[in-house]
Structure 1
Amino acid sequence: MDTNKLLLVIIAILLPPVAVFLKAGAGKDLLINIVLCLLFWFPGLLHALWVVTKA
């Protein structure tokens, strides 16, 4: 795991929408993550970790 991915994982744990924005930009993934974080924090966290770690 390189340094950038490690930092994104740490950011995803603390601020999931920020990590998704940094990885995928402003798009459907960011919108999905914001909705998940507004509903419940944990699904937003899981989604952010998935977006950050997928190849």
Structure 2
Amino acid sequence: MDTNKLLLVIIAILLPPVAVFLKEGAGKHLLINIILCLFFWVPGLLHALWVVTKS
């Protein structure tokens, strides 16, 4: 696993919206992740991990 991807996975576990922002920038994925994190933390975490690990 690439070092940058590993660091993004760690950030995704701690702060999911930050990891999505670092990977995709300000866009639809960031907005989706913020909404998911507001309702409940786990869906936001899963979404962030998906965004960070997809190629």
TM-score interval, normalised by the smaller of the two chains:
over 0.9
Question: What is the TM-score when the length of structure 2 is the normalising length?
Answer: 0.99
Matched, 1:5 2:12: no
Q: Could you list the runs of 5+ residues in structure 1 that have no partner in the other structure?
A: none
Question: What is the TM-score when the length of structure 1 is the normalising length?
Answer: 0.99
How many percent of aligned residue pairs carry the same amino acid?
89
Q: Could you list the runs of 5+ residues in structure 2 that have no partner in the other structure?
A: none
1:1-55 pair list within 5 angstroms? 1-55=1-55
Shift, 1:14, TM fit: 0.1
Please, what is the CA RMSD of the aligned residues? 0.2
Shift, 1:26, TM fit: 0.1
Shift, 1:39, TM fit: 0.3
Count of residues paired in the alignment: 55
